[in-house]
Structure 1
Amino acid sequence: MPLVLSQLFNGLAAGLLLALISTGLTIIYGTLGVINFAHGAIFVVGAYAGLMTFNATGSFILAIVVGSAVTLVLGLVIERGIVRLFYGRPPEDQLLVTFGIGIVLVEIVRSIFGGIGLTMPEPAWGHGIVNMGFLIYPLYRMEILGISALTLVALYIVLYRTRLGLIVRAGIEDALMVNMLGVNVQRSFLMVFGLGAMAAGYAGVINSPIVSLSPDMGARILVDSFVVVVIGGVGSFPGAIIGGIIAGEIQSLTSMFDPAYSDVMLFAVMALVLIFRPQGLMGQEGRE
C-alpha cells in the first residue's frame, strides 16, 4: 500500500506538471489556431536559462523568474517575427515552421551547453521529506504539486477572468468587429503566444531538479504534451489539466509493474479516447 500511495502522489505531481506544460500548447491552439511544434524546445530553453541563473546566483526563485522571462520574450519574438505570418496559411505550413523553429532552438542550446546531461540541485527549501503518517514523501515533489496547482489556477484566472481573456475569445469569433471597437486583437494574440511559451519555460525550471537536463529532452515532453491535449480535448484548458493528471497516473502506476509499458498504456488510452470521443474528454466538436 505505501508503494501504491507513493506512485499515486508521483503520478499526481507529474500529471500537474505535464498539465502546466500542455496548457501552453492548448491555449495557443485554442486562441490562435496554431499547433506549436516548438513548444518542447521552448521548455528546454527555459530549463537551461534557469540552470544558468541558478549556477550564477544560487537562487532558485531567481532561476524561475529568469527562465520564465526568457521564454516569454522568446515567445513574443517568435510570434511577432515568424508565426503571425502563418495565421492564414494551411495547418501543414504552421507545423513545418514551428518544427523548424524547434530544431534551431535545440541546436543553439546544444552548441552552448553540449550534449551531456546536466543537473540542477534542489532548492534549499526543497530538501528533506514529508511524513504524512501513512506515507513518507520527498518534500520537493510535494512542493512541485502545490506550485503546479497554484500556477494552473493563476493561468485560469488570467484567461477566463480578465479583460485579456475576454478580448482573445471575442477576437477568435470576430476579429474585425473587435478591431472596429478599438481593440488591438493582434497584440492580444501576441500576449497569448508569449504566455503559452512562458508556461513551458516555467515548467522547465521547476522540473529541472528531478530530471537530467539535455538538449533533446523537449522531444519527449512535446509528445507527452500532445497526448495530454488529445485526451483532454484540443483547445480546452480544463481538458489539459484532466488529461495531464490522467497521463501522469497512467505512467506512474504502470511503471510499478513494468516501466517499459508505461508509454504503451498511455498511447492505448489515447487511442481509446480517439475512438469513442474524438474531440477529447472536455473538447468540443469542431472549432469555430
Structure 2
Amino acid sequence: MSTVFGVPVQALLGQLLVGLINGSFYALLSLGLAIIFGLLQVVNFAHGAFYTLGAFAAWFLLTLAGVGYLGALVLAPLAVGLVGALVERTMLKRLGGMDPIYGLLLTFGLALLVQGLLQNQYGSSGQPYEMPSWLSGGYALGFMFLPRYRAWVVGFSVVVCGATWFVIERTRLGATLRAATENPALVQAFGINVPRLVTLTYGVGVALAALAGVLAAPIYRVSPLMGADLIIVVFAVVVIGGMGSILGSILTGFALGLIEGLTKVYYPEASSTVIFAVMALVLLVKPSGLFGRTA
C-alpha cells in the first residue's frame, strides 16, 4: 500500500475530502460575513445565529408544512434574509456613524438571544433532519465511499460562492453597492435609494448564512448550538482571507478546510487549533490578511 510521509494514500485522500466538505461551510459562511463587513463595516457576530435559524427554518418547513429539501433551499434563506433585513432596519441602522464596536455588541447580544430561545424550547441535543432520497447513497472512489449528499454540498457551495463573487465584482449592481458604501451622498444624488441597498446587502449576507444552515441540516443535527460551535472558526477564516475580501473569504474557506483535513492525518491533536495558528502567523506577516487591502 502506497504512503505519503508514512500515511496511507487512502486515508490522506479521505481526510482531504472531509476537509473540502468542511471548507464548503467555511466558505459560504465567511462569504456572508465578508459581504456584510466589506460593504457595511458591520462585524456581524449574529452570523452563527442566522446559520442556526436557516437550519431550524428548514426543519420547521419539513415538519410543519411538509416542504421538502429543495423548497427549503429557497424558502429558508429568503425567510431568514427578511429577518436580517428587519434587524438592519430597526436596530443596526440606528448605529450608523457610531464606533463599529456597538454593532458587534448588538449582534453578539442577538446571537445569545436566539441561541437561548431555541435552547429553552428544543434543548441542546438537536432535531434530526431527513436527507432527501434523491441524494442518498454515494460513490465508491476506491480509497473511500463518498456520500452523494456531501458531494452535492461541495458542488453547490462552489456554484453559490462563484455566482456571488461574480455579482459583486463584475456586475453593475455590485459596482453600485460598492459605490454606495464608499460615497453614499454621491450615489444618493443619482436617485439611488442607499438605505434600501444597505438593507438588501445585509439581508443577502444573512441569507447566505441561512443557506449554509439548510445544507448542514441533513449532515448535523439541527441544534441551537450549531452556529456557536462554528462562528469563531469562520471569523478566523475571514481574518486570514482579509476583512471584507470576497474572493479571499471563498478561497481561504476552502483552503483552510483542506489544511484542517491534512492536520487530522498528520497531527490530530492540533486539528481543532490549526486554523487559529494559521491566523496568528498571517497576522504577524500581513495584518490586513492574505487578500486584504493595506490601509
Aligned length: 286
Matched, 1:10 2:40: no
Aligned pairs (5 A) from 1:195-206? 195-206=204-215
Q: Identity of paired residues, percent?
A: 37
Q: 2:11·2:143 contact (CA, 8 Å) conserved in 1?
A: no
Equivalent in the alignment of 1:225:
234
For the residues of structure 2 that align with 1:108 and 1:280, how far apart are their CA atoms?
35
Amino acid in structure 1 at the alignment position of 2:28: L
Q: Measure how far apart 1:111 and its partner are.
A: 3.3
Equivalent in the alignment of 2:123:
114
Match of 1:41 among 49, 67, 81: 49
- Report the secondary structure of 1:210's partner residue: coil
Q: Measure how far apart 1:115 and its partner are.
A: 2.5
Q: Measure how far apart 1:257 and its partner are.
A: 4.3
For the residues of structure 1 that align with 2:195 and 2:11, how far apart are their CA atoms?
50
Q: Measure how far apart 1:199 and its partner are.
A: 0.1
Q: Return the TM-score normalized by structure 2.
A: 0.92
Deviations 1:186-223 (A, max 9, x none): 11111000000000000001011111222122112210
Amino acid in structure 2 at the alignment position of 1:63: A
Equivalent in the alignment of 2:61:
53
For the residues of structure 2 that align with 1:214 and 1:31, how far apart are their CA atoms?
30
Q: 1:167·1:185 contact (CA, 8 Å) conserved in 2?
A: no
What stretches of structure 2 of length at least 5 have no aligned partner? 1-8
Equivalent in the alignment of 2:4:
none
Amino acid in structure 2 at the alignment position of 1:85: R
- Report the secondary structure of 1:263's partner residue: coil
Deviations 1:110-146 (A, max 9, x none): 2332322222121112111113455431111111110
Aligned pairs (5 A) from 1:177-188? 177-188=186-197
The range that moved more, 127-136 or 213-222, is: 127-136
Q: Return the TM-score normalized by structure 1.
A: 0.94
For the residues of structure 1 that align with 2:96 and 2:167, how far apart are their CA atoms?
23
Q: Measure how far apart 1:183 and its partner are.
A: 0.9
For the residues of structure 2 that align with 1:260 and 1:168, how far apart are their CA atoms?
43
CA 1:276/1:142 → structure 2, altered by over 3 Å: closer, same or farther?
A: same
Q: 2:52·2:210 contact (CA, 8 Å) conserved in 1?
A: yes
Equivalent in the alignment of 1:270:
279
